[in-house]
Amino acid sequence: MRVSTYAVVFCLGLVSARALHAQEQDVKRLAATLTAPDKNERLRAADELAEFGTQAKAAVPQLLTALTGADADLRWHAARALGAIGPAAVEAAPALVKALTDENALVRAQAAQAIGFLGSKSPQAVEALVTRVTDSDARVRRAAIAALQRLRPGPKVVLPLLAKVLDDADPSVVMPALQSLAEVGADAMPTLIEALSYPGGRYWACLVLAEMGPKGKAAVPALVKLLSDKDPEVRMQAVITLGEIGPDAKSAASDIIKALSDEHGGVRYGAVYALAKIGAVESLPALAKAGAETDPFLQVLAPWAAAKIKPMDEGLVRVAVERLITGLKSNDANVRRAAARGLFELGAGDQAVAPALVAAMEDPDPTVQGNVYTALASLGAKAVPRVVQRLKDPKSRERALRILTIMGPEAKAAVPIWKRCCGARMPQLATRCYSPWPRSVQAVRPLCPR
C-alpha cells in the first residue's frame, strides 16, 4: 500500500518535472525568437512570454535587449511582457524607468504600467512616474497615475500631485486621481480644498467632497465662493456639495438662498436640495416662492424640501405629499423620479401614497421604476396587499415580485398567493430569488418556494 503511494507520488513528480522542463524550453525558444528576422514573430514571442507570467523570468535579459532596440513596437511589447512577469523581473526596473522618456508614447505608457506591476518603489522609479503624470499623451498620464496608485509611495508624494491632476483638461486622466482622492478620505481635505481653487479642478473636487458628506465641512468657505463661479455646472455641484455636508454648512444658508434666484434651473434645484439637507428654517419663505414657480421640477422639489426641514409640520408635509403624488403623473421623467424618491425620503404613510405608487409601478423609465419600488417597499407590510394584487396580473407580476423581494420578510403574507399565481409555472421568477445579490438573497428566502 505504502509502496503504491510512493510510486504514484514519484510518477507525479516526474510528470511535473517534465512539464516544467518543457515550459523552460518554450521560454528559451521564445526568448531566442525575440531577435528573429521577422517582425511579427518577434512581437508574437514577446506576447507569448507575457502569457507565461512569472515563469518567463529567464527571458528578462532578452526582453531588456528588446526594450532598448530600434523597433518601437517591439519595445512596447517587451515592456508589457516585463510587466506581466511582475516582481520577478524587478531587475528590469532601471531600464523601464529609462523607457519612460522614450520618444514613442505607447512605450512610455507600457513602461509606466510595467513599473507598477513590478512593484519597484525606488525613489528613481517614483520620481520618474511623477514626471510622467504631466506627459503630453493621455495614455501615459493614466498609466503613470495607475502605477503610482499601485506602488502607494505615500500621501506626501501622491496628494499634491493629485490636486494638479484634477486640473487636467482630459477627464480620462482626472478620473483615476478622483478615485484615489475619494479612497484617501478625510486626509485628502487640504488637497481637495486646493483643487477647488483650480479652474479645471473645482468641478471634480466638488464630486469627491459631496461624497465625503459632513467630513468635508472644512471646505464650506471655499464652496461658498464657488456659488458665484461663472460656470453654472460648477455652481450646481458646489451647492449640492454644501447640501451633502449637511447642518455643518448652515453658515452658507444665506448664500444658498441667494442661489435660489440663479438664472440656471439646475443651480436652483441644487439650492433647494441643499437647504433641505442643511435644515435651514429661515429658507422656508424662499422655498414657498420657489415652489410657486412654473418649473414643474421645483413645484415638486421645493415642497419636499420644506417638509424635510420641518417634518413635524403637518401642513407642510400634507402639501408636499400632494405635490409629490401629482408629480408621479408628470410627463417629465425627472419630475416623476424626484416625486418617487421624495415620497420615499419623506417616509410619508399617507393613505393616498400606496395607491399612487402602485399605479406608478408601470412607469416606462427604469430609474423612475427603481425609485417607485424603493418607495413602495419602504411602506412595508401595509403596502403588501396592493402589491399582491399585481401578482395576479401576469404583465405586472415580475415588477411586483421585485418589490416584494426588496421588502423581504415583511412581505411574507404574499407567499401563499405568489405560490398560487406563479409557483412552478414561472421558473424564471423562482430563479430570480437566487440572483447573485447576496444580501437580498438572505431577505427573500422566506418568499422562495421550497
Q: Binders of other proteins among 101-130, rule CB under 8 A?
A: 106, 109-110, 113, 117
The alpha carbon dihedral of 384, 389, 392, 393 has a sign of negative
Q: In whole angstroms, how far apart are CA 401 and each of 21, 207, 313, 367, 381? A: 58, 35, 35, 17, 14
- We find the least distance from the C-beta atom of residue 304 to other proteins, in angstroms, to be 8
Out of 71, 187, 233, 282, name the contact with other proteins by CB under 8 A: 233
Residues 6+ apart with CB under 8 A from 107: 72, 75, 76, 79, 99
- We find the least distance from the C-beta atom of residue 421 to other proteins, in angstroms, to be 24
- Which grid coordinates are listed for 419? 405560490
- We find the least distance from the C-beta atom of residue 308 to other proteins, in angstroms, to be 9
Q: Are 117 and 84 in contact (CB under 8 A)?
A: yes
- Which grid coordinates are listed for 37? 528576422
Residues 6+ apart with CB under 8 A from 322: none
Q: Is 270 in the site for other proteins (CB under 8 A)?
A: yes
Q: Is 31 in the site for other proteins (CB under 8 A)?
A: no
Site residues (CB under 8 A) for other proteins, limited to 143-202: 143, 146, 171-172, 174-176, 178-179, 182
- We find the least distance from the C-beta atom of residue 389 to other proteins, in angstroms, to be 25
- 94-102, 127-135, 203-211, 217-225 -> range binding other proteins (CB under 8 A): 203-211
Out of 130, 138, 426, 430, name the contact with other proteins by CB under 8 A: 138
Q: Is 402 in the site for other proteins (CB under 8 A)?
A: no
- We find the least distance from the C-beta atom of residue 383 to other proteins, in angstroms, to be 20
The C-alpha angle with vertex 175 and arms to 234 and 144, in degrees rounded to 5, equals 135
The stretches of 392-449 forming alpha helices (DSSP H) are 397-407, 415-421, 427-432, 438-444
- 228-236, 323-331, 385-393, 401-409 -> range binding other proteins (CB under 8 A): 228-236
Q: Rg of the chain over CA atoms, in angstroms?
A: 30
Nearer to other proteins, 37 or 436 (CB): 436
The stretches of 281-365 forming alpha helices (DSSP H) are 284-291, 296-309, 314-327, 333-346, 353-360
The stretches of 136-231 forming alpha helices (DSSP H) are 138-151, 155-165, 171-184, 189-195, 202-212, 220-226
Out of 382, 393, 434, 446, name the contact with other proteins by CB under 8 A: 434
Site string for other proteins, 237-266 (x = CB under 8 A): x--x--xx------------------xxxx
Nearer to other proteins, 128 or 259 (CB): 259
- 8-16, 64-72, 152-160, 187-195 -> range binding other proteins (CB under 8 A): 8-16
Number of residues that bind other proteins (CB under 8 A): 81
Site residues (CB under 8 A) for other proteins, limited to 406-425: none
Q: Are 335 and 327 in contact (CB under 8 A)?
A: yes
Site residues (CB under 8 A) for other proteins, limited to 50-69: 50-55
- We find the least distance from the C-beta atom of residue 255 to other proteins, in angstroms, to be 18
Out of 20, 36, 352, 413, name the contact with other proteins by CB under 8 A: 20
Site residues (CB under 8 A) for other proteins, limited to 342-381: 342, 345, 365-367, 370-371
- We find the least distance from the C-beta atom of residue 24 to other proteins, in angstroms, to be 12
Nearer to other proteins, 150 or 417 (CB): 150
Q: Is 1 in the site for other proteins (CB under 8 A)?
A: yes
Q: In whole angstroms, how far apart are CA 145 and each of 37, 133, 385? A: 36, 6, 54
The label of the residue with cell 502607494 reads: 152
Q: Report CA 239 to chain centroid distance, whole Å.
A: 21
Residues 6+ apart with CB under 8 A from 189: 215, 216, 218, 219
